[in-house]
Amino acid sequence: MSVSQGVEIGIADIEAAATRLQGVAVRTPLLSSSALDEAAGGRVLLKPESLQVTGSFKIRGAYNLMSQLSPAQARKGVVAWSSGNHAQGVAAAGTMLGIATKIVMPEDAPAAKIRNTRRLGGETVLYDRYTGNREEIARAIAAEQGSELVPSYDHPDIVAGQGTVGLELIEQCAERNVVPDQVLICCGGGGLSSGSAIAIKARSPGTAVHTVEPAGFDDTARSLQSGVRERNDPAARSICDALQTESPGELPFTYLKKLAGKGLVVTDDEVRSAMRFAFRHLKLVVEPGGAVALAAVLAGKVTCAGKTTVVVLSGGNVDTDLFATIQQQEDDRP
């Protein structure tokens, strides 16, 4: 059966996920910066999931799904596939819940993500992302072991868990008596953006939601334009390792095509510039994939003048050498 058939995810599911995540996930702050407002030409608020447990939003969905497994399911462990952030979320959730975890990861994933996944208790299975199929490998392992699969985005409990980001940011805006005009969200398979869009639109129907992707991996932007799930060129490359999906997730896209506005796309150079801005002006370490929404604001891919814009920084797990190299570079921005 298609994963999207018969599945309905609503605000109640996201609120239930938020309850499960109390004491597990951090309620990351909503930050402001006069330097950012000046650069953007409007009011911008940042939701730094780079400060989340394991350094990205992924713990939200992983824990929401895994905490609902039956004792019999939990005893057989779980298997996941991930470029790194979901891997760490699954590993951490498994350690918290006493569930064995095995994660299929690309061998060229940032060393810090592989190392941290192992440190958090996950067993890693490495593969070549350009010749192997991580989902097929994971499904074969799960079938052999009788384990449950924990997809990185194409599952209702994952979408609901990631949607707590959108729920929180709308609640935090309300605490400031602010109604955001638009929310920009980093997008790979679409779990974070679709779940957050469900929450945002339920609480603030007039707020626009935009996905942001790196050039070459703009499958969601093209899919939103065409109305069908588009695929990326297998030859595409980007420094945004966390966002290199082949196509939007089936379940996330059913919500994004109803709830999201135009998809935005940024270049790797614009991402590097955003990472420099985040570190120099905001004192935040943001990984390439986590910086694409900020890059869209700084590169003028969306109009911020006269508006309140919320930007989600989805993760901060970046290798030290890459981060140092990017910070040593310069651009036109002071």
Residue labelled with tokens 């979408």:
159
CB-CB contact of 293 with 165 (8 Å): no
The fold for domain 58-154 equals: Rossmann fold (3.40.50)
The architecture in CATH of the region 11-57+157-328 reads 3-Layer(aba) Sandwich (3.40)
Same topology between domain 11-57+157-328 and domain 58-154: yes
pLDDT of residue 130: 83
CB-CB contact of 82 with 90 (8 Å): yes
pLDDT of residue 6: 57
Residue 239's CB: how many other CB atoms inside 10 A? 18
d(CA 220, CA 162): 17
The residues, ordered by sequence, that sit 6+ positions from 325 with a Cβ below 8 Å of its Cβ are none
- Strands 123-127 and 101-106 turn out to be parallel
pLDDT of residue 62: 98
pLDDT of residue 55: 96
The residues, ordered by sequence, that sit 6+ positions from 299 with a Cβ below 8 Å of its Cβ are 266, 267, 270, 273, 274
d(CA 318, CA 121): 20
pLDDT of residue 330: 83
CB-CB contact of 188 with 226 (8 Å): no
Where is 266: in which H helix or E strand? strand 264-266
**pLDDT of the chain along its 334 residues, tens only?**
334 445 799 999 999 999 999 999 999 999 999 999 999 999 999 999 999 999 999 999 999 999 999 999 999 999 999 988 999 999 999 999 999 999 999 998 888 889 999 999 999 999 998 888 888 999 999 999 999 999 999 999 999 999 999 999 999 999 999 999 999 999 999 999 999 999 999 999 999 999 999 999 999 999 999 999 999 999 999 999 999 999 999 999 999 999 999 999 999 999 999 999 999 999 999 999 999 999 999 999 999 999 999 999 999 999 999 999 999 998 765 4
Domain extents for the chain?
A: 11-57+157-328, 58-154
d(CA 218, CA 125): 28
